[in-house]
Amino acid sequence: MKAQNGSRWVDPAPLEVARPRLPWWTMLPGLVKLVISPVVLAWLLVWLVGKLARLLWYYPITALLIIATLWLDCWAGHYWAGAVASVVLVGLGVWWWRWIDTYQRRLRWLRSEVRRVTVYAWDWRTVMRLSNLTGTAKGREYRPKLKRVRAEGWRDKVRVRMVKGQAPEQWSERASGLAHSFHAKSCRVRVISPGKIELDLIHSDPLVSVLPLPAMVADESSVDLKRITIGRTETGKPWRIRLLGNQILVVGVQGAGKGSVLWSVVWALAPMIKAGKVRLYGIDPKGGMELGQCPDIFHKVVFDNGPDAVELLEEIANEVRARAGQYRGLRRFWTRESGQPFTLLIIDELADVIAYQTDKKLKERAQGAIQTITSQGRAPGFATLALVQDPRKEIVPFRNLFTTRIAMRLDEATQVDMVLGDGVRERGADAHEISELTPGVAWAKEDGKKEPLRGRAFYASDDNLWDLRAYVNGWTFEVLPFPGSADKGGRRHDHFACTRSGG
Ligand SMILES: Nc1ncnc2c1ncn2[C@@H]1O[C@H](COP(=O)(O)OP(=O)(O)OP(=O)(O)O)[C@@H](O)[C@H]1O
């Protein structure tokens, strides 16, 4: 209303009301709506079926249980369905409470489904947003998709479809935050296929218990030099390494358990050593502290880093060249049928031989010989197992000649990169975080294989090493009565003495 002369009325402020924005299709003429409605309904149906199929795919056991309960409800009535469901639920609860190990093993699928819904799907959107793993384009939020979850007790394997434009490295950078968000101890990121990754959310370490050496293989023909079992991996499978055509470097701080890798390899080879099909050479510059425990299973062994050690290395390097010359034009690789023994050179502290040696000439000769053996020994059947504490380039300048590298407990993350190579630590190989309480645990990386492997080597006790010596040398023991050992009752104490024969 306009202000008139003497009137108290003034123009009111224009009314500011947002016009309601209706979806575009509401503006369509009624006839068009009628025509496209069956199409829209069909599309809705397909969408619903898709959602249902997705639920059935991710939660098959839960769906089966619900369908079975509904069927029971129709068939026997509410009372019976409720009673059976309660008994099953209570039974599962008691099983979980009393026998969690078998529950986790037997009911892995059900557990996977329960963890998917209660731990991951529940918080997925929030965790993705807070971890900056979502993206926005044209006003729309794009979120990584939670796919299959598999609970294995000690870890949950969680598959994820990444947002377009995302890299696995972005996930590796946030691994620690993801672990905390999903109540896990640590998180590893593994690439499955383009755009798809798998998160390993770790809850406990399956390698905490000591693994005793297994029974020795009876027959040398069953020893496979391509698959020597030296322990167990964290997934419970045998930890196997390849000796044929391979050169192995084991790195770890003092007390990391490098010796257990060494003796697990020798234990697995024992039948072939005994049969003369494998020949061991050894260098132990620490005065025989390690290899001196079984000196007589070696073809030749030297207990220092002086001229004797260098001469032994040069002798082996010459053999490598000579055997390669014999093979030229006849065969490409060593096989058992060649009639020549497979040769394994074991060096207990490589740094003492090639870095700490004060005589420059000896040092250079040792370096040259080891480089010949590691670079040319593959085809003619020569392998090297070198143990070292310090992986720096100044100490081991030719790390790349070792085709399998095993990182035991290390001091720093940079050392892990030096041993296993760039990018392997980002895939979870945290060798610098291996506990002091688990000697023998290691991360291994083979050339040509993308994923590193975590395992624990068998523990070789003094008795095992004594058995090894006796077995390879063919010693037998006979129990003799201890002199004057009969007690008053006439019982003989005859288990204290023995004699050796055959060696
Ligand atoms: N696989 C294993 N399982 C259980 N205990 C182990 C294992 N390996 C080693 N140990 C224990 O850890 C201790 C250190 O092991 P070991 O001497 O082999 O370490 P190392 O890395 O060779 O050390 P160094 O460099 O000083 O020789 C041993 O006394 C042994 O009792």
| Tokens representing residue 85 in the block | 């469901």
Whole-angstrom Cα distance, residue 143 to residue 249? 43
The pLDDT, as a whole number, for residue 486 is 53
Does 4 score more than 70 pLDDT?
no
Does 448 score more than 90 pLDDT?
no
Mean pLDDT, the chain, integer: 88
CB burial of residue 63 (10 Å; 0-12, 13-18, 19+)? middle
The pLDDT confidence band at residue 104, using thresholds 50, 70 and 90, is confident
| Tokens representing residue 409 in the block | 């407990």
Residue 260 beta carbon below 6 angstroms from any ligand 1 atom: yes
The pLDDT, as a whole number, for residue 314 is 96
Q: Among 24-38, 69-83, 191-205, which stretch is predicted with the lowest mean pLDDT?
A: 24-38
The pLDDT, as a whole number, for residue 116 is 93
Does 372 score more than 70 pLDDT?
yes
- Longest pairwise C-alpha distance within the chain: 142
Q: Among 354-358, 386-390, 441-445, which stretch is predicted with the lowest mean pLDDT?
A: 354-358
Residue 256 beta carbon below 6 angstroms from any ligand 1 atom: yes
Whole-angstrom Cα distance, residue 345 to residue 84? 66
**Mutational test site, ligand 1, from 254, 260, 387, max ligand atoms within 8 Å of CB:** 260
Whole-angstrom Cα distance, residue 190 to residue 66? 34
Whole-angstrom Cα distance, residue 152 to residue 204? 11
Residue 305 beta carbon below 6 angstroms from any ligand 1 atom: no
Q: Ligand 1, atom 1: nearest CA belongs to which residue? A: 440
Q: DSSP 3-state helix, strand, coil percentages of the chain (rounded to 5)?
A: 45, 20, 35
Gap from CA of 233 to ligand 1 centroid (Å) = 18
133, 174 Cβ separation under 8 angstroms: yes
**Ligand 1 atom nearest to 348, measured from its CA:** 27
C-alpha dihedral (302, 306, 312, 314), degrees to nearest 10 = 160
185, 203 Cβ separation under 8 angstroms: yes
Does 250 score more than 60 pLDDT?
yes
User: Distance between alpha carbon 357 and the CA centroid of its chain, in Å?
Assistant: 36
Work out the angle at residue 139's Cα, subtended by the Cα atoms of residues 136 and 141, and round it to the nearest 5 degrees.
40
Whole-angstrom Cα distance, residue 322 to residue 316? 10
Whole-angstrom Cα distance, residue 434 to residue 410? 8
Mean pLDDT of the region 374-388: 94
- For the annotated binding site for ATP, the residues are 252-259
**Mutational test site, ligand 1, from 232, 233, 239, 258, max ligand atoms within 8 Å of CB:** 258
CB burial of residue 207 (10 Å; 0-12, 13-18, 19+)? buried
**Ligand 1 atom nearest to 264, measured from its CA:** 1
Q: How many CB atoms lie within 10 A of CB 126?
A: 10
The pLDDT confidence band at residue 150, using thresholds 50, 70 and 90, is very high
The pLDDT, as a whole number, for residue 407 is 96
User: Distance between alpha carbon 183 and the CA centroid of its chain, in Å?
Assistant: 21
The pLDDT, as a whole number, for residue 357 is 86
**Ligand 1 atom nearest to 349, measured from its CA:** 25
What three-state secondary structure class fits 117?
Answer: helix
What are the phi and psi torsion angles at 193 (to 5°)?
Answer: -160, 170
ipTM above 0.90, yes or no: yes
**Mutational test site, ligand 1, from 207, 459, 463, 464, max ligand atoms within 8 Å of CB:** 459
Crossing angle for the helix pair 78-98 and 60-76, to the nearest 10 degrees: 140
> How many residues are given for the chain?
503
Gap from CA of 329 to ligand 1 centroid (Å) = 45
The pLDDT, as a whole number, for residue 494 is 45
The pLDDT confidence band at residue 23, using thresholds 50, 70 and 90, is confident
Residue 208 beta carbon below 6 angstroms from any ligand 1 atom: no
Q: How far is CA 445 from CA 121, 258, 451, in A?
A: 33, 16, 7
User: Distance between alpha carbon 309 and the CA centroid of its chain, in Å?
Assistant: 35
Whole-angstrom Cα distance, residue 341 to residue 244? 12
- The secondary structure of residue 268, as a DSSP letter, is H
Gap from CA of 433 to ligand 1 centroid (Å) = 17
The pLDDT confidence band at residue 492, using thresholds 50, 70 and 90, is very low
The pLDDT, as a whole number, for residue 20 is 73
Mean pLDDT of the region 214-228: 90
Q: Could you read off the pLDDT of 55-95 as tens digits, one per residue? A: 899 888 888 888 888 999 999 889 998 999 899 889 989 98
User: Distance between alpha carbon 147 and the CA centroid of its chain, in Å?
Assistant: 22
Half-sphere exposure of 333 (CA within 13 A, CB side): 8
**What residues contact 297, with CB distance under 8 A and at least 6 apart?**
266, 270, 273, 280, 468, 469, 472, 473
User: Could you tell me which of 485, 470, 434 has the C-alpha nearest to residue 455?
Assistant: 434
Does 497 score more than 80 pLDDT?
no
CB burial of residue 370 (10 Å; 0-12, 13-18, 19+)? buried
Residue 259 beta carbon below 6 angstroms from any ligand 1 atom: yes
**Ligand 1 atom nearest to 259, measured from its CA:** 18
Whole-angstrom Cα distance, residue 102 to residue 97? 11
What three-state secondary structure class fits 364?
Answer: helix
Gap from CA of 438 to ligand 1 centroid (Å) = 9
Residue 437 beta carbon below 6 angstroms from any ligand 1 atom: no
| Tokens representing residue 434 in the block | 């291996």
CB burial of residue 155 (10 Å; 0-12, 13-18, 19+)? buried
Residue 389 beta carbon below 6 angstroms from any ligand 1 atom: yes
**Ligand 1 atom nearest to 256, measured from its CA:** 21
Q: Could you give the percent of the chain with pLDDT greater than 90?
A: 61
Q: Ligand 1, atom 26: nearest CA belongs to which residue? A: 254
Residue 257 beta carbon below 6 angstroms from any ligand 1 atom: yes
Q: b/e string for 408-426 if b means 16 or more Cβ within 10 A?
A: bbbeeeebbbbbbbeebbb
The pLDDT, as a whole number, for residue 1 is 46
For the residues of 35-49, what is the DSSP string, one character each?
A: HHHHHHHHHHHHHHH
- For the annotated binding site, the residues are 252-259
Gap from CA of 453 to ligand 1 centroid (Å) = 20
Residue 258 beta carbon below 6 angstroms from any ligand 1 atom: yes
Whole-angstrom Cα distance, residue 390 to residue 252? 7
Work out the angle at residue 307's Cα, subtended by the Cα atoms of residues 301 and 309, and round it to the nearest 5 degrees.
25
Residue 255 beta carbon below 6 angstroms from any ligand 1 atom: yes
- H helices present in 99-174, as ranges: 100-106, 108-115, 122-130, 168-173
Tell me the residue type at 10: V
418, 374 Cβ separation under 8 angstroms: no
